[in-house]
Amino acid sequence: MEHIRLPKVENVRLLDRVSTRRSRVGTLYLTATHTIFVENEAGVRNETWVLHSLVYSAEKQAATTSGCLLIIHCKNFQVLHFVLPRERECHDVHLSLQRLSQPESYKELYCFSYKPNVDEEERLQEWDFLDLKADYSRMGLPNSLWKLSPVNCHYKVSDTYPAGLFVPDSATPPVIVGSSKFRSRGRFPTLSYYSKENHATICRSSQPLSGFSARCLEDEQMLEAILRSNPRSDFMYVVDTRPKLNAIANRAAGKGYENEDNYSNIKFQFIGIENIHVMRNSQQKMLEVCELRSPSMSDFLEGLESSGWLKHIKAVLDAGIFIAKAVAEEGVSVLVHCSDGWDRTAQVCSVACVLLDPHYRTLRGLMVLIEKDWVSFGHKFSHRCNHLVGDPKEVSPIIDQFLECVWQLMEQFPCAFEFNERFLITIHSHIYSCQYGNFIGNNERERIELGLRERTHSLWSYLWTNREDYINPLYRPDHSQTQGLLRPSTAPYCFKFWKGLYNRFDRGMHPRQSVEDYLRAIQEETQQLEEQLASHKQKIAILEQEQGWSVTQKAATFDKSPTAWALGNDLGLANTPQDYTGGFITSSPCQPKAPEGSLILLPQDLNKTSDSNHSNSSDQESGIADLSCRSPLSEDSTKDPDSDEAAYSAA
């Protein structure tokens, strides 16, 4: 509270981003964790909550006759325009927000003060929800080819790696330690994914310290051990995810890449994914285009093209596809690295896993994948996501790109993923919100030192508890896609702009309801109607028994599957994105026509819909805008006055 210069400002206007002529007047409150705008409309209490951890920047503009404008940009891509009546008030709020949104130490983060109504035993159980050892066991590890090595116990070999690592059974501790000394930050080659069908693996490491001519016998033996652990292949790929010029430039600093003359039976492959600085600038340019008030089609498309954002998404997907095909189709093991092995390496390894393994296309599976390839293997969340005040050059949207790659795949294969878009957006928001302890710190060692397990809550348990909000109604567990390798197209026309993430707060610019949400609402309403029908049938049966008469009625059976509106296509045969381009009615589904002579009991109220909102307490605690939507059948249904959606719609 000592950082709050002015806790309350009255007669503040919240402008509509699309049309500045529209605004709402209310009171602005600053608390230790949130900025809250309460609208002053008679009989209505609409609130907009902004978590300080989500504030990326606060910009104060020059005062005018109408007041002083304060623009708040958030890490979840929300932009708020407040007009404060006096410049001095705007100055105080601006300075307060700058300090509150840039914590200087971990103890200031929201996760350490977030206290939901959960007892201590339940809180500890949250952290036991995911078990990485169980995921490795699912892959068939350990076995005669791969073992769990204690070599990094107490993080003695690499302080950015997890304590438990799988290495080839033939790799001895001296070979592992020797290899680590020849790799940047000690990140020696270790296993990320194992295919028990053909023994091919995805391994990961950092770049070798090869310079122009240096070599290391132990590192060469380590790669040879990885190769021998796949008895069905006589070579392996080494994939450097950097542009070749970048890798060559690193040689001057004593780093670089593997020399094929020194490593036996390897095939080297460069994949040109740009560095964190290029990605940061690209996203910033793309967001500037998103924030244009009324862009023309040419302005928007030219701005999106000049940002290069989708080109970078394509590069990450291409790398994942190359690795997935090498493992699944060629049966060849792959070693992946970039510079330090915690950015581009995490991206392409996890994308390849999503393509390879149907398990990672489920709710629990994606959680495990992020925990394994990102959290455990030392992606620097605190630096990349700007959790603490620090070097702005360390900030980069690396995890954003992975989540977008998954979304792009969902667009091509809508029946192959158990989760929906809202699931990805919720994960994205909480990565930056610091409400949960999962993404605090830069590696496993830091998280243990911070005592996150003992002092904070886990996001994964919250998501699983509310999993009904994140189920994809098109998901078919028995679908051919869910059983094998995904083969997406990366032709330029297959990539889409993710408006659901980058423009989801612009309610006036486009509809917020997706096809999946529309179908989900229909499913919920159908379930309600079926329950009412069952109740009516039960009452009729009781009446028949009591009065001794019966009514004969023909029963009409309708298909209740998520693909009920398909036009006779056999979606079970679909294997490619092209198989999904047709077959769905684009107009609103209507009441199925009743067979002649049948008796249908209609309920009195057809307007009941099931609201899939997040809990109000979670919305207000996190400051994350409500992503729920309602069926068109109940578009005018009552909004919760305490929800973020109601607040933003009023604003």
Antiparallel, parallel or unpaired: β 236-240 and 165-168:
unpaired
| CB contact set of 220 (below 8 Å; sequence gap of 6+) | 262, 263, 264
CB environment 558-585: b (16+ within 10 A), e (fewer) = eeeebbebeeeeebeebeebebbeeebe
Q: How far is CA 425 from CA 372, 403, 513, in A?
A: 20, 8, 14
Which tokens in the block code for residue 68? Answer: 């002083």
How many beta carbons lie within 10 A of that of residue 324, not counting itself? 25
Amino acid of residue 410: M
The question of whether 338 is a catalytic residue gets the answer yes
Which string of b and e fits 254-280 if b means at least 16 CB within 10 Å? ebbbbbeebbeebeebbbebbebeebb
Residue 204 to residue 244: CA distance in whole angstroms:
18
**CA–CA separation, 413 and 11 (whole Å):** 49
| Distance, CA of 210 to CA of 214 (rounded, Å) | 5
DSSP state of 419: B
Catalytic residue among 338, 353, 405, 434: 338
d(CA 379, CA 366): 16
Residue 481: in which H helix or E strand, if any? none
CB 247 within 8 A of CB 290: no
With H, G, I as helix, E, B as strand and everything else as coil, classify residue 601. Answer: coil
Q: Which residues are catalytic?
A: 338
